[in-house]
Amino acid sequence: MTATSSDLPPGQRRWPLFIVVAVGVFMSTLDSSMVNIALPSIMRDFGSHLHTTEWVVLVYLLSITATLLWWGHLGDRHGKNKIYSGGMLLFALGSLACALAGNLVWLVVARGGQALGAAMMMATGPAIIKQTFPANRLGRSLGLIGVAVSLGLMTGPPLGGLIMEFYSWRAIFLVTVPVGLVFFVLARIVLPGSPEPLAAHRFDWPGALLWASGLLFLSLALSQATAADRSLVRVALLLAAGAFTLLVFVKVEAVSSKPLLPLHLFSQRFFSAAVVCAVFSFMVLFVVIMLTPFYLDRVLSLSSARIGLVMMSIPLAVMLVAPLAGYLSDRIGARLLSTAGLLISCLGLLLLTELPAHPRPWQIAVRLTLMGCGQAMFLAPNSASLLGRVERQYAGASAALLATARNLGMLLGIAQAGLVFSMVFSRATGGLDMKDFAGAHVGEFLSAMTAAFRVAAVFGLLGVVISWRRGAEPVAALAEGEGE
Protein backbone atom coordinates (compact mmCIF):
# COMPACT_ATOMS: atom_id res chain seq x y z
CA MET A 1 0.00 0.00 0.00
CA THR A 2 1.19 3.46 -0.83
CA ALA A 3 0.00 6.57 0.96
CA THR A 4 -2.20 8.78 -1.19
CA SER A 5 -2.39 12.52 -0.95
CA SER A 6 -5.45 12.21 1.30
CA ASP A 7 -3.45 10.16 3.81
CA LEU A 8 -0.74 12.81 4.14
CA PRO A 9 -0.75 15.83 6.42
CA PRO A 10 -1.06 19.23 4.70
CA GLY A 11 2.16 20.74 3.38
CA GLN A 12 2.33 23.29 6.18
CA ARG A 13 2.12 20.46 8.73
CA ARG A 14 4.90 18.37 7.21
CA TRP A 15 7.84 20.56 8.13
CA PRO A 16 7.10 20.90 11.87
CA LEU A 17 6.86 17.10 11.97
CA PHE A 18 10.10 16.84 10.03
CA ILE A 19 11.91 19.27 12.36
CA VAL A 20 10.91 17.33 15.48
CA VAL A 21 12.16 14.07 13.94
CA ALA A 22 15.35 15.71 12.65
CA VAL A 23 16.18 17.14 16.09
CA GLY A 24 15.91 13.68 17.65
CA VAL A 25 18.29 12.32 15.02
CA PHE A 26 20.61 15.29 15.58
CA MET A 27 20.70 14.76 19.36
CA SER A 28 21.48 11.06 19.21
CA THR A 29 24.26 11.50 16.65
CA LEU A 30 25.66 14.57 18.44
CA ASP A 31 26.00 12.62 21.67
CA SER A 32 27.48 9.59 19.93
CA SER A 33 30.17 11.57 18.12
CA MET A 34 31.12 13.52 21.25
CA VAL A 35 31.47 10.33 23.30
CA ASN A 36 33.80 8.77 20.72
CA ILE A 37 36.08 11.80 21.07
CA ALA A 38 35.94 11.47 24.87
CA LEU A 39 36.97 7.80 25.07
CA PRO A 40 40.70 8.49 25.61
CA SER A 41 39.85 10.88 28.46
CA ILE A 42 37.37 8.43 30.02
CA MET A 43 40.03 5.71 29.87
CA ARG A 44 42.54 7.95 31.65
CA ASP A 45 40.09 9.11 34.34
CA PHE A 46 38.93 5.62 35.28
CA GLY A 47 42.26 3.86 34.55
CA SER A 48 40.37 1.27 32.54
CA HIS A 49 41.46 -1.13 29.81
CA LEU A 50 40.36 -0.78 26.17
CA HIS A 51 38.04 -3.81 26.33
CA THR A 52 36.15 -2.31 29.30
CA THR A 53 36.22 1.33 28.16
CA GLU A 54 34.77 0.39 24.76
CA TRP A 55 31.59 -0.70 26.56
CA VAL A 56 30.71 2.99 26.90
CA VAL A 57 30.11 2.80 23.14
CA LEU A 58 29.21 -0.89 22.88
CA VAL A 59 26.36 -0.76 25.41
CA TYR A 60 24.85 2.20 23.55
CA LEU A 61 24.91 0.36 20.23
CA LEU A 62 23.90 -2.99 21.79
CA SER A 63 20.88 -1.51 23.57
CA ILE A 64 19.74 0.23 20.39
CA THR A 65 20.29 -2.81 18.18
CA ALA A 66 18.55 -5.17 20.60
CA THR A 67 15.43 -3.04 21.07
CA LEU A 68 14.82 -1.23 17.76
CA LEU A 69 12.55 -4.01 16.50
CA TRP A 70 10.58 -3.86 19.75
CA TRP A 71 9.95 -0.16 19.39
CA GLY A 72 9.05 -0.49 15.71
CA HIS A 73 6.30 -2.97 16.54
CA LEU A 74 5.15 -1.07 19.62
CA GLY A 75 4.98 2.07 17.46
CA ASP A 76 2.68 0.26 15.02
CA ARG A 77 0.58 -0.96 17.95
CA HIS A 78 0.35 2.10 20.22
CA GLY A 79 1.26 4.94 17.87
CA LYS A 80 4.65 6.02 16.55
CA ASN A 81 4.19 9.50 18.01
CA LYS A 82 3.89 8.26 21.61
CA ILE A 83 6.97 6.08 21.27
CA TYR A 84 8.97 8.88 19.63
CA SER A 85 8.16 11.55 22.24
CA GLY A 86 8.77 9.09 25.09
CA GLY A 87 12.17 8.32 23.59
CA MET A 88 13.03 12.01 23.55
CA LEU A 89 12.34 12.29 27.29
CA LEU A 90 14.21 9.08 28.19
CA PHE A 91 17.23 10.18 26.16
CA ALA A 92 17.42 13.49 28.04
CA LEU A 93 17.19 11.79 31.44
CA GLY A 94 19.79 9.20 30.42
CA SER A 95 22.17 11.98 29.38
CA LEU A 96 21.84 13.55 32.82
CA ALA A 97 22.59 10.19 34.49
CA CYS A 98 25.73 9.82 32.35
CA ALA A 99 26.99 13.24 33.42
CA LEU A 100 26.63 12.24 37.09
CA ALA A 101 28.35 8.83 36.72
CA GLY A 102 30.72 8.09 39.60
CA ASN A 103 32.47 5.11 38.00
CA LEU A 104 32.69 3.23 34.73
CA VAL A 105 29.94 0.76 35.64
CA TRP A 106 27.53 3.60 36.43
CA LEU A 107 28.43 5.29 33.15
CA VAL A 108 27.86 2.11 31.13
CA VAL A 109 24.46 1.49 32.78
CA ALA A 110 23.40 5.11 32.21
CA ARG A 111 24.47 4.88 28.57
CA GLY A 112 22.23 1.84 28.23
CA GLY A 113 19.25 3.85 29.47
CA GLN A 114 20.13 6.73 27.19
CA ALA A 115 20.33 4.28 24.28
CA LEU A 116 16.79 3.04 24.90
CA GLY A 117 15.53 6.56 24.33
CA ALA A 118 17.60 6.88 21.16
CA ALA A 119 16.23 3.53 19.93
CA MET A 120 12.65 4.69 20.43
CA MET A 121 13.34 7.73 18.23
CA MET A 122 15.33 5.82 15.61
CA ALA A 123 12.70 3.09 15.24
CA THR A 124 9.78 5.44 14.66
CA GLY A 125 11.40 8.53 13.08
CA PRO A 126 11.85 7.17 9.51
CA ALA A 127 8.31 5.71 9.57
CA ILE A 128 6.93 9.13 10.57
CA ILE A 129 8.84 10.66 7.65
CA LYS A 130 7.44 7.97 5.30
CA GLN A 131 3.86 8.70 6.30
CA THR A 132 4.41 12.49 6.24
CA PHE A 133 5.90 13.01 2.76
CA PRO A 134 4.59 11.82 -0.63
CA ALA A 135 6.37 8.91 -2.32
CA ASN A 136 8.13 11.02 -4.94
CA ARG A 137 9.77 13.14 -2.21
CA LEU A 138 10.83 10.32 0.10
CA GLY A 139 14.44 10.25 -1.11
CA ARG A 140 14.80 14.02 -0.69
CA SER A 141 13.27 14.00 2.80
CA LEU A 142 15.55 11.14 3.87
CA GLY A 143 18.44 13.07 2.32
CA LEU A 144 17.56 15.99 4.58
CA ILE A 145 17.47 13.61 7.55
CA GLY A 146 20.99 12.70 6.40
CA VAL A 147 21.85 16.38 6.83
CA ALA A 148 20.58 16.21 10.44
CA VAL A 149 22.72 13.11 10.97
CA SER A 150 25.75 14.85 9.55
CA LEU A 151 25.15 18.04 11.55
CA GLY A 152 25.08 15.99 14.74
CA LEU A 153 28.20 14.09 13.78
CA MET A 154 29.89 17.25 12.53
CA THR A 155 29.04 19.35 15.59
CA GLY A 156 29.96 16.62 18.06
CA PRO A 157 33.73 16.33 17.55
CA PRO A 158 34.63 20.06 17.68
CA LEU A 159 32.07 20.78 20.39
CA GLY A 160 33.21 17.79 22.43
CA GLY A 161 36.86 18.73 21.95
CA LEU A 162 36.19 22.34 22.93
CA ILE A 163 34.25 21.31 26.05
CA MET A 164 37.04 18.98 27.16
CA GLU A 165 39.62 21.73 26.66
CA PHE A 166 37.97 23.67 29.52
CA TYR A 167 35.84 21.09 31.38
CA SER A 168 35.80 17.33 31.88
CA TRP A 169 34.15 14.75 29.62
CA ARG A 170 31.12 14.80 31.96
CA ALA A 171 30.04 18.14 30.55
CA ILE A 172 29.50 16.70 27.08
CA PHE A 173 26.48 14.73 28.31
CA LEU A 174 24.82 17.85 29.67
CA VAL A 175 24.56 19.46 26.23
CA THR A 176 21.61 17.34 25.08
CA VAL A 177 19.62 17.51 28.35
CA PRO A 178 17.86 20.90 27.86
CA VAL A 179 17.36 20.28 24.12
CA GLY A 180 15.77 16.90 24.82
CA LEU A 181 13.39 18.29 27.44
CA VAL A 182 12.25 21.18 25.23
CA PHE A 183 11.65 19.00 22.19
CA PHE A 184 9.85 16.39 24.27
CA VAL A 185 7.24 19.06 24.97
CA LEU A 186 7.17 20.12 21.30
CA ALA A 187 6.83 16.50 20.16
CA ARG A 188 3.78 16.05 22.36
CA ILE A 189 2.24 19.10 20.67
CA VAL A 190 3.26 18.50 17.04
CA LEU A 191 3.29 14.74 16.49
CA PRO A 192 -0.28 13.72 17.47
CA GLY A 193 -1.51 14.92 14.06
CA SER A 194 -0.06 11.91 12.19
CA PRO A 195 -2.09 8.92 10.93
CA GLU A 196 -3.70 6.44 13.31
CA PRO A 197 -1.69 3.36 14.33
CA LEU A 198 -2.52 -0.04 12.88
CA ALA A 199 -4.74 -2.42 14.80
CA ALA A 200 -3.21 -3.81 17.98
CA HIS A 201 -1.87 -7.35 18.05
CA ARG A 202 -0.08 -9.58 20.52
CA PHE A 203 3.54 -8.57 20.96
CA ASP A 204 6.20 -11.19 20.17
CA TRP A 205 7.90 -11.30 23.58
CA PRO A 206 9.72 -14.63 22.99
CA GLY A 207 11.26 -13.29 19.78
CA ALA A 208 12.19 -9.99 21.43
CA LEU A 209 13.94 -11.65 24.38
CA LEU A 210 15.77 -14.18 22.18
CA TRP A 211 17.01 -11.40 19.85
CA ALA A 212 18.31 -9.28 22.72
CA SER A 213 19.92 -12.28 24.47
CA GLY A 214 21.68 -13.47 21.33
CA LEU A 215 23.19 -10.06 20.67
CA LEU A 216 24.28 -9.75 24.32
CA PHE A 217 26.08 -13.11 24.23
CA LEU A 218 27.91 -12.20 21.01
CA SER A 219 28.91 -8.77 22.34
CA LEU A 220 30.27 -10.29 25.55
CA ALA A 221 32.23 -12.82 23.49
CA LEU A 222 33.82 -10.13 21.34
CA SER A 223 34.60 -7.98 24.37
CA GLN A 224 36.14 -10.93 26.22
CA ALA A 225 38.24 -11.74 23.15
CA THR A 226 39.91 -8.30 23.34
CA ALA A 227 40.88 -8.63 27.02
CA ALA A 228 44.53 -9.20 27.86
CA ASP A 229 43.59 -12.08 30.20
CA ARG A 230 41.07 -13.57 27.78
CA SER A 231 39.98 -17.17 28.14
CA LEU A 232 39.48 -18.97 24.85
CA VAL A 233 37.06 -21.38 26.53
CA ARG A 234 34.94 -18.50 27.82
CA VAL A 235 34.97 -16.82 24.40
CA ALA A 236 33.96 -20.06 22.68
CA LEU A 237 31.11 -20.68 25.14
CA LEU A 238 29.76 -17.16 24.72
CA LEU A 239 29.95 -17.39 20.92
CA ALA A 240 28.18 -20.74 20.98
CA ALA A 241 25.48 -19.38 23.28
CA GLY A 242 24.96 -16.36 21.02
CA ALA A 243 24.79 -18.43 17.83
CA PHE A 244 22.41 -20.96 19.40
CA THR A 245 20.11 -18.24 20.78
CA LEU A 246 19.91 -16.46 17.41
CA LEU A 247 19.22 -19.77 15.67
CA VAL A 248 16.31 -20.42 18.07
CA PHE A 249 15.16 -16.84 17.40
CA VAL A 250 14.95 -17.53 13.66
CA LYS A 251 13.02 -20.76 14.28
CA VAL A 252 10.56 -18.98 16.59
CA GLU A 253 10.02 -16.12 14.13
CA ALA A 254 9.40 -18.56 11.26
CA VAL A 255 6.32 -20.03 12.99
CA SER A 256 5.04 -16.88 14.75
CA SER A 257 1.77 -15.41 13.49
CA LYS A 258 2.98 -11.88 14.32
CA PRO A 259 6.79 -12.11 14.24
CA LEU A 260 9.10 -9.45 15.58
CA LEU A 261 11.22 -9.93 12.45
CA PRO A 262 9.13 -10.46 9.26
CA LEU A 263 11.46 -13.03 7.70
CA HIS A 264 9.42 -13.30 4.48
CA LEU A 265 10.51 -9.78 3.53
CA PHE A 266 14.08 -11.04 3.13
CA SER A 267 12.96 -13.15 0.17
CA GLN A 268 12.79 -9.88 -1.79
CA ARG A 269 16.25 -8.99 -3.06
CA PHE A 270 15.81 -5.21 -2.73
CA PHE A 271 14.98 -5.67 0.97
CA SER A 272 17.70 -8.13 1.95
CA ALA A 273 20.37 -6.23 -0.01
CA ALA A 274 19.46 -2.90 1.64
CA VAL A 275 19.62 -4.40 5.14
CA VAL A 276 22.89 -6.34 4.65
CA CYS A 277 24.63 -3.42 2.92
CA ALA A 278 23.62 -1.09 5.75
CA VAL A 279 25.34 -3.44 8.21
CA PHE A 280 28.57 -3.51 6.20
CA SER A 281 28.57 0.24 5.50
CA PHE A 282 28.35 1.23 9.15
CA MET A 283 30.76 -1.50 10.18
CA VAL A 284 33.40 0.09 7.92
CA LEU A 285 32.61 3.57 9.23
CA PHE A 286 32.77 2.72 12.92
CA VAL A 287 36.06 0.87 12.74
CA VAL A 288 37.49 4.23 11.67
CA ILE A 289 35.48 6.25 14.19
CA MET A 290 36.61 3.96 17.01
CA LEU A 291 40.36 3.85 16.33
CA THR A 292 41.18 7.18 14.67
CA PRO A 293 40.68 9.34 17.81
CA PHE A 294 43.13 7.09 19.68
CA TYR A 295 45.62 7.45 16.81
CA LEU A 296 45.30 11.24 16.83
CA ASP A 297 45.60 11.35 20.63
CA ARG A 298 48.27 8.71 21.33
CA VAL A 299 50.46 8.81 18.20
CA LEU A 300 50.10 12.39 16.91
CA SER A 301 49.50 13.97 20.37
CA LEU A 302 46.85 16.38 19.06
CA SER A 303 44.74 18.40 21.48
CA SER A 304 41.08 17.44 22.03
CA ALA A 305 39.95 20.46 20.00
CA ARG A 306 42.16 19.54 17.02
CA ILE A 307 41.04 15.90 17.20
CA GLY A 308 37.47 17.14 16.97
CA LEU A 309 38.24 19.25 13.92
CA VAL A 310 39.90 16.35 12.10
CA MET A 311 37.04 13.97 12.90
CA MET A 312 34.56 16.57 11.69
CA SER A 313 35.67 15.78 8.11
CA ILE A 314 33.33 12.79 7.83
CA PRO A 315 30.06 14.48 8.84
CA LEU A 316 30.93 17.66 6.94
CA ALA A 317 31.20 15.61 3.76
CA VAL A 318 27.92 13.84 4.60
CA MET A 319 26.13 17.15 5.09
CA LEU A 320 27.24 18.40 1.67
CA VAL A 321 26.61 15.21 -0.31
CA ALA A 322 23.52 13.66 1.38
CA PRO A 323 20.88 16.05 -0.03
CA LEU A 324 22.19 15.59 -3.58
CA ALA A 325 22.30 11.80 -3.12
CA GLY A 326 18.72 11.80 -1.85
CA TYR A 327 17.56 13.93 -4.79
CA LEU A 328 19.32 11.70 -7.32
CA SER A 329 17.89 8.55 -5.73
CA ASP A 330 14.39 9.80 -6.60
CA ARG A 331 15.54 10.02 -10.24
CA ILE A 332 17.85 7.06 -10.89
CA GLY A 333 17.29 4.67 -7.98
CA ALA A 334 19.61 3.26 -5.36
CA ARG A 335 21.68 0.65 -7.15
CA LEU A 336 24.32 2.86 -8.79
CA LEU A 337 24.49 5.49 -6.03
CA SER A 338 24.66 3.07 -3.11
CA THR A 339 27.20 0.79 -4.77
CA ALA A 340 29.43 3.70 -5.76
CA GLY A 341 29.12 5.15 -2.26
CA LEU A 342 30.26 1.93 -0.60
CA LEU A 343 33.15 1.63 -3.03
CA ILE A 344 34.31 5.21 -2.34
CA SER A 345 34.05 4.61 1.41
CA CYS A 346 36.25 1.51 1.10
CA LEU A 347 38.76 3.50 -0.94
CA GLY A 348 39.01 6.13 1.82
CA LEU A 349 39.51 3.36 4.38
CA LEU A 350 42.32 1.74 2.39
CA LEU A 351 44.02 5.12 1.90
CA LEU A 352 44.10 5.47 5.70
CA THR A 353 46.34 2.39 5.78
CA GLU A 354 48.85 4.17 3.51
CA LEU A 355 49.50 7.29 5.58
CA PRO A 356 53.04 8.72 5.52
CA ALA A 357 55.27 8.16 8.54
CA HIS A 358 54.57 11.63 9.96
CA PRO A 359 51.22 12.73 8.50
CA ARG A 360 49.83 16.22 8.76
CA PRO A 361 46.27 16.46 10.15
CA TRP A 362 44.94 17.62 6.76
CA GLN A 363 46.22 14.43 5.12
CA ILE A 364 44.09 12.38 7.50
CA ALA A 365 41.14 14.75 7.05
CA VAL A 366 41.21 14.29 3.25
CA ARG A 367 40.89 10.54 3.63
CA LEU A 368 38.10 10.89 6.18
CA THR A 369 36.30 13.29 3.83
CA LEU A 370 36.40 10.67 1.09
CA MET A 371 34.83 8.18 3.48
CA GLY A 372 32.15 10.70 4.40
CA CYS A 373 31.27 11.30 0.73
CA GLY A 374 30.91 7.57 0.20
CA GLN A 375 28.71 7.13 3.26
CA ALA A 376 26.45 10.00 2.15
CA MET A 377 26.08 8.56 -1.35
CA PHE A 378 25.09 5.23 0.17
CA LEU A 379 22.76 6.08 3.06
CA ALA A 380 19.77 8.04 1.71
CA PRO A 381 19.37 6.04 -1.55
CA ASN A 382 19.69 2.74 0.33
CA SER A 383 17.05 3.78 2.88
CA ALA A 384 14.68 5.12 0.24
CA SER A 385 15.02 1.94 -1.84
CA LEU A 386 13.68 -0.08 1.08
CA LEU A 387 11.13 2.26 2.71
CA GLY A 388 9.68 3.36 -0.62
CA ARG A 389 8.73 -0.18 -1.64
CA VAL A 390 7.35 -1.90 1.48
CA GLU A 391 3.65 -2.08 2.33
CA ARG A 392 2.30 0.29 4.97
CA GLN A 393 1.64 -2.57 7.40
CA TYR A 394 5.39 -3.25 7.47
CA ALA A 395 6.53 0.39 7.48
CA GLY A 396 7.27 0.54 11.21
CA ALA A 397 8.99 -2.85 11.32
CA SER A 398 11.00 -2.08 8.17
CA ALA A 399 12.17 1.31 9.44
CA ALA A 400 13.16 -0.30 12.73
CA LEU A 401 14.92 -3.14 10.93
CA LEU A 402 16.88 -0.71 8.76
CA ALA A 403 17.94 1.24 11.86
CA THR A 404 18.79 -2.09 13.54
CA ALA A 405 21.02 -2.97 10.59
CA ARG A 406 22.87 0.34 10.86
CA ASN A 407 23.39 -0.02 14.59
CA LEU A 408 24.36 -3.66 14.26
CA GLY A 409 27.00 -2.50 11.79
CA MET A 410 28.22 0.08 14.31
CA LEU A 411 28.30 -2.56 17.03
CA LEU A 412 30.22 -5.01 14.85
CA GLY A 413 32.58 -2.25 13.74
CA ILE A 414 33.45 -1.29 17.33
CA ALA A 415 33.83 -4.94 18.31
CA GLN A 416 35.93 -5.81 15.27
CA ALA A 417 38.16 -2.76 15.77
CA GLY A 418 38.75 -3.67 19.41
CA LEU A 419 39.27 -7.36 18.67
CA VAL A 420 41.72 -7.05 15.77
CA PHE A 421 43.59 -4.09 17.26
CA SER A 422 43.98 -5.69 20.69
CA MET A 423 45.13 -9.04 19.31
CA VAL A 424 47.74 -7.53 16.98
CA PHE A 425 48.94 -4.91 19.48
CA SER A 426 49.13 -7.41 22.35
CA ARG A 427 51.08 -9.92 20.28
CA ALA A 428 53.52 -7.26 19.04
CA THR A 429 54.15 -5.75 22.49
CA GLY A 430 54.29 -8.90 24.59
CA GLY A 431 50.80 -8.69 26.07
CA LEU A 432 50.27 -4.92 26.55
CA ASP A 433 46.92 -3.11 26.29
CA MET A 434 46.30 0.26 24.63
CA LYS A 435 46.26 1.93 28.05
CA ASP A 436 49.93 0.89 28.40
CA PHE A 437 50.87 2.69 25.17
CA ALA A 438 54.17 4.60 25.20
CA GLY A 439 56.16 6.42 22.55
CA ALA A 440 58.17 3.28 21.81
CA HIS A 441 55.02 1.48 20.67
CA VAL A 442 54.12 3.69 17.68
CA GLY A 443 55.08 1.03 15.14
CA GLU A 444 53.04 -1.63 16.90
CA PHE A 445 50.06 0.75 17.16
CA LEU A 446 50.17 1.48 13.43
CA SER A 447 50.41 -2.22 12.56
CA ALA A 448 47.39 -3.03 14.73
CA MET A 449 45.32 -0.15 13.34
CA THR A 450 46.21 -1.07 9.75
CA ALA A 451 45.18 -4.68 10.35
CA ALA A 452 41.80 -3.58 11.73
CA PHE A 453 41.20 -1.25 8.76
CA ARG A 454 42.08 -3.95 6.21
CA VAL A 455 39.74 -6.49 7.77
CA ALA A 456 36.95 -3.89 7.66
CA ALA A 457 37.72 -3.17 4.00
CA VAL A 458 37.06 -6.83 3.15
CA PHE A 459 33.53 -6.55 4.56
CA GLY A 460 33.03 -3.24 2.79
CA LEU A 461 33.96 -4.72 -0.59
CA LEU A 462 31.59 -7.62 0.05
CA GLY A 463 28.88 -5.00 0.57
CA VAL A 464 29.77 -3.45 -2.80
CA VAL A 465 29.08 -6.76 -4.54
CA ILE A 466 25.77 -7.28 -2.70
CA SER A 467 24.64 -3.71 -3.42
CA TRP A 468 25.26 -4.09 -7.15
CA ARG A 469 23.35 -7.37 -7.24
CA ARG A 470 20.23 -5.83 -5.66
CA GLY A 471 18.87 -4.98 -9.12
CA ALA A 472 17.32 -1.76 -10.33
CA GLU A 473 14.04 -0.32 -9.00
CA PRO A 474 10.99 -0.72 -11.23
CA VAL A 475 10.21 2.39 -13.25
CA ALA A 476 6.81 2.60 -11.56
CA ALA A 477 8.41 2.81 -8.12
CA LEU A 478 10.57 5.76 -9.14
CA ALA A 479 7.79 7.61 -10.89
CA GLU A 480 5.18 6.92 -8.23
CA GLY A 481 3.53 9.98 -6.81
CA GLU A 482 4.71 12.37 -9.52
CA GLY A 483 2.54 15.41 -9.84
CA GLU A 484 2.40 15.91 -6.08
Query: Do the beta carbons of residue 319 and residue 22 sit within 8 Å?
Result: no
The domain of 209 spans: 204-257
Q: Cα separation of 149 and 118, whole Å?
A: 13
pLDDT for position 247: 92
Residues 238-274 have pLDDT tens digits of 889 989 998 998 888 888 777 777 777 787 787 888 8
Phi, psi of 195, deg, nearest 5: -60, 160
Q: Are 128 and 84 in contact (CB under 8 A)?
A: yes
CB 162 within 8 A of CB 305: yes
Q: 316 and 218, same structural domain?
A: no
Specify whether 209 is located in the same domain as 195: no
Tell me: do 437 and 317 sit in the same domain. Answer: yes
Same domain, 48 and 99: yes
Do the Cβ atoms of 318 and 155 come closer than 8 Å?
no
- The CATH number of residue 279's host domain is 1.20.1250.20
Task: Verify that 122 and 87 share a domain, yes or no.
Answer: yes
| pLDDT value at 6 more than 60 | no
Average pLDDT, the chain: 79
Residue 217 and residue 78 share a domain: no
Are both 228 and 329 inside the same structural domain?
no
Decide if 119 is inside a domain.
yes
| Domains held by the chain: number | 2
State CA 235 to chain mean position distance: 25
**Residue type, position 69, single letter:** L
Determine, yes or no, domain membership for 294.
yes
DSSP string of 266-321? GGSHHHHHHHHHHHHHHHHHHHHHHHHHHIIIIIS---HHHHHHHHTHHHHHHHHH
Does residue 1 fall inside a structural domain? no
The C-alpha atoms of residue 287 and residue 452 are separated, in whole angstroms, by 7
Name which of 219, 218, 204, 216 is nearest 250 in CA terms: 204
| Same-domain pairing of 151 and 245 | no
Higher per-residue confidence, 305 vs 119: 119
Q: Using pLDDT thresholds of 50, 70 and 90, give the confidence band for residue 422.
A: confident
- Residues 212 and 291 grouped into a single domain: no
Average pLDDT of 327-345? 83
484 occurs within a structural domain = no
Does the pLDDT value for residue 8 go beyond 70? no
pLDDT digits (tens, 9 = 90+) for 347-389: 999 999 888 778 888 889 999 999 989 988 888 788 777 776 7
Work out the widest C-alpha separation in the chain, in whole angstroms. 68
Report the SS3 class of residue 156: helix
**Per-residue model confidence (pLDDT) at position 478:** 46
State the distance between the two ends of the chain, measured CA to CA, in whole angstroms: 17
Residues 244 and 349 in one domain: no
Residues 226 and 369 in one domain: no
For residues 92 and 224, state if they share a domain.
no
Quote the crossing angle between the two packed helices 395-429 and 205-225, to the nearest 10°.
20
pLDDT digits (tens, 9 = 90+) for 277-306: 889 998 998 898 888 888 888 888 888 778
pLDDT in tens, 138-180: 556 665 666 676 667 667 777 777 788 777 888 888 888 888 8
Whether 472 has a pLDDT exceeding 90, the answer reads no
Residue 2: inside a domain: no
